[in-house]
Amino acid sequence: MTRAQQVRIIAWWEFNRFVKWRQQFIGIAVMLGLSAMIGGVTKLITGARGKQVEVAVVGAATLGFPLPDVDGVTWLPERYGDAEALRAAVAADSVGGGLIIAADGGGEVLVRRKSAWTTRVAPAFTQAHQAAAFGQLPLSAEQRRALEAPFAVRITALGTGGGASAGSSRLYANILLGIGLVVLFNGFASLFVGITGEKQQRITEQMLSMVSPQSWIDGKILGLAAAAVVGTVMMVATALVAFLMLPRIFGGSVPTLPPPPTELGLLAMIALVTLLGTAMWFAFMAAIAATIDDPNSSPRGAMLMIPVLPTTLAFVLVSRAESTVAQVLAIFPLTSMAVLPVRLLSTAVPWWEPALAIALLAASVWAFRRAAGKIFAAGVLLYGKEPTLAETLRWAREA
Amino acid sequence: MASSSAFLDVARVHKRFARVHAVADISLAVAPGEIFALLGPNGAGKSTLLRMLVGITRPDEGRIQWPTMPGGQLPGVQLGYLPEDRGLYQDMPLIAVLTYFGSLRGLAPRDAQQAGERWLDRLELLPRAKDKVGSLSKGNQQKVQFAAAVLHRPRCAILDEPFSGLDPLNQELFLGLVRDLRAEGTTVILSAHQMSLVERLADRVFVMQHGREVLAGTMPEIRERWGTGVRLILTVDGAAAGVGSQTEALAAIAAHPAVVGVSRGEDAAVVIALARGQHVGDLMALCASRLSIVSVRTEQPSLHDVYIDVVGTAAPATPAEAA
């Protein structure tokens, strides 16, 4: 039996251990059910908000413009003859509220107790007042159109770096980073359980009589990374279904996403960087997990947060993708998985930058998986204690 | 045993952990198809030696070779290993675990599954094939672990403490399973503490203490070289003679040149350990004249007796070994 066959068998076993299709689909159904429930409750709340409050108005004729629409309010103009009658009616709770328009502009809202709708009155009247004032200016139709027209900006990328500067780039960069984070979190949890749990269940000794530590760790990394990707894909697909379907069910408007970048080369490059980056972090975390004896008490569990740092950094750099810092971090292997896609989607990058980043990332994958195998091989029989940092680094150097 | 005909040849192997010399200058040879038992008290170095045989750790010095195998190395697919630390995937079905281990040992997945089902049937666990391992009792989990170690019909099975934690009925079951392995041509190397089982099972025994060999050989060889010879057990009528006169009689018997030792056994028995190669005619006459004998029988020294005798009197560990 070849080493590759063993790695494939281990990877497939780990994948099946952590991707339990039945539970996955039950999880999706629960998620959709909860989303539907939240949608229904939201609709109920919206409906409740639609319950109108009757507000009597005194002095509406002096406004010079029609009473503007205010969400949740039904105006009752001139129901009461004067302000005093209106005050008395509001105090007696005969009407939901009152609005007294002053002759010199401005107004006073009367309520018996504080109500949410009162905060919406001033903005609505300000807007209506400005529109009325604009309408009274002595302007021609052409002048009005010119004043109302937005300032149009069209973005044209003339560089040869292949950077896509479409308006949607930032959105898709953020989505990619978010998905990357979910993959890492999804995978680390199972990687942690998959390695430390096996050590705790005393399975490792039997496994190592069949396969080399390197084959074992390679199979783990591959299988658990694949499980994390599948879990994330299902999660994203579920979110997408909820995002697109629920508004149809509850009668809302279906949100639309801007079209994603379509350059195949760019997409392939991003996919490759994401793949290599995921493999590198999984190898890194496998090495950490191999040194942990008891996951419940080991302080090394906190090291699982390390890969989150570059991703967080990348979120910050989304709006500063052209900076030198972003360029350096796009090449550095520990950050390139997160930062390079942001730069590729947001700005023009020279050809050598992704090439160098991918080469360094591939070398890091190889180095981390070798180190993980070596650390695991050296530490596997250390039941009941964890190797020191110095021991771990020595084993990693020997890899 | 000549190394040239050996299936396994271990030559002058040492293994040290920090200040502990776990295995010290061990040499042994195992013949193809035999059951070879490693004995010794806790911490004697048996598991460390077995781990080196399996290839999980390597000797610091010395050589481990499988002379009949290409390159002197035993491929992993030819090896079955039951580790001292038992462990299975608790959250997975029995048959899935067996299929997985069989596949890693080189069987095609379908063959591995069929072999797993045959073993579960043999262990009367087939109806539970799809149950999770964690739902089984400890004894049943041990059966599954045994099956996982040997379902691929290995050339060599290395079993570390296969009988520990088993009730007497399951010990008998495992005894039969190990014999079956040998009958199928598998060489078995095992470690154990259950002397009576080892005595019934092993072709050869190798006893370790403090990482070193203290005795080795077949049971007759061990009895011959390390045993105290045959024991004569006399049941006497205590009422026929006073305690004082019986004590004097035992002292007189102990002084006889054919006697190594005399002790009182259970149920008014007197146990006389005989020196090897001595005639006992006049000793019998002496016993008959001094004791009121009801019955007489002889007994071979058991492995347990030899073990206690040899291990109990072996040199204490050096400070480095004892650390």
Instruction: Identify all chain A residues contacting B142, using CB atoms and an 8 Å cutoff.
Output: none
Please indicate, yes or no, whether residues B258 and B168 belong to a single structural domain of this protein.
Answer: no
Q: Residue B212 falls within a domain, yes or no?
A: yes
Q: In the structure encoding, which two tokens stand for residue A35, read together?
A: 């989303």
Residue of B53, B56, B78, B91 to mutate, testing the A interface (most A Cβ within 10 Å of its Cβ): B56
Domain's final residue, options B161, B190, B225: B225
**Cα distance from B136 to chain A (closest Cα, Å)?**
15
Distance CA A217, CA A215 (A): 6
Are the Cβ atoms of B86 and A202 closer than 8 angstroms?
yes
Give the domain CATH number at B262.
Answer: 3.30.70.100
The stretch B209-222 carries a mean pLDDT of: 87
Chain B nearest-CA distance from A306, in A, is: 29
Residues A154-209: tens digit of each pLDDT: 666 555 444 444 556 667 777 777 787 788 888 887 887 888 777 777 788 888 88
Residue where a domain stops, chosen among B225, B248, B283: B225
Q: Is residue B118 located within the same domain as residue B204?
A: yes
Are residues B270 and B188 part of one domain?
no
One domain, residues B24 and B104: yes
Using CA atoms, how far residue A199 sits from A40, A120, A196, A206, in Å, is: 47, 62, 5, 11
Contacts of B50 in chain A (CB under 8 A): none
Considering only CB atoms, which chain A residues are within 8 Å of B56?
A: 205, 208-209, 381
Whether residue A210 and residue B104 make contact (CB cut-off 8 A), yes or no, is yes
Q: Are residues B146 and B246 in the same domain?
A: no
Number of structural domains found in chain B: 2
Whether residue B130 lies inside any domain: the answer is yes
Q: Does B237 lie in the same domain as B210?
A: no
In a domain, B117, yes or no: yes
pLDDT at B203: 92
> Is pLDDT above 80 for A395?
no
* Contact predicate B34/B88, CB 8 Å: no
Same domain as B237, residue B108:
no
CB A247 within 8 A of CB A255: yes
Question: Is the pLDDT confidence value at A381 over 90?
Answer: no
Mean of pLDDT values over B172-198? 91
Query: Could you tell me if B142 and B204 lie in one domain?
Result: yes
Q: Is B189 an interface residue toward A (CB < 8 Å)?
A: no
**B307 in a structural domain:** no
Q: What 8-state DSSP symbol labels residue A88?
A: H
* Partner residue opposite B83 with nearest CB, options A17, A198, A206: A206
Element at B252 (helix H, strand E) = helix B243-254
Question: A201 at the B interface (CB within 8 A)?
Answer: yes
Q: How confident is the model at residue B247 (pLDDT cuts 50, 70, 90)?
A: confident
User: Is B137 found in the same domain as B73?
Assistant: yes
How confident is the prediction for chain B on average, in pLDDT? 86
B280 occurs within a structural domain: yes
Identify the CATH number of the domain in which residue B165 sits. 3.40.50.300
- DSSP per-residue string spanning A62-79: GSSSPPPP-TTEEEEETS
Residue B120 and residue B239 share a domain: no
- In a domain? residue B273: yes
Distances (CA, A) of B17 to A261, B200, B208: 59, 34, 17
Query: Cβ separation of B81 and A209 shorter than 8 Å?
Result: yes
Does some domain include residue B265? yes
Domain identity same for B51 and B180: yes
Last residue of a domain, one of B207, B225, B243: B225
Residues B46, B146, single domain; the answer is yes
Is residue B317 one of the residues assigned to a domain? no
Taking the CA atoms of B158, B161, B165 and B170 in sequence, report the sign of the dihedral they define: positive
CB contacts of A3 in chain B (<8 Å) are none
Q: Cβ of B81 and A202 within 8 Å?
A: no
Asked if B88's CB is within 8 angstroms of A203's CB, the reply is yes
CA B131, CA B116: separation in Å to the nearest integer? Answer: 14
Give the gap in angstroms from C-alpha A53 to the nearest C-alpha of chain B: 59
Is A396 an 8 Å CB contact of chain B?
A: no
Domain containing B169 equals 3-225
Q: What is the mean pLDDT of residues B135-162?
A: 92
Looking at A312-316, B15-19, B179-183, which range is the least confident one? A312-316
Question: What mean pLDDT comes out for the span A127-155?
Answer: 83
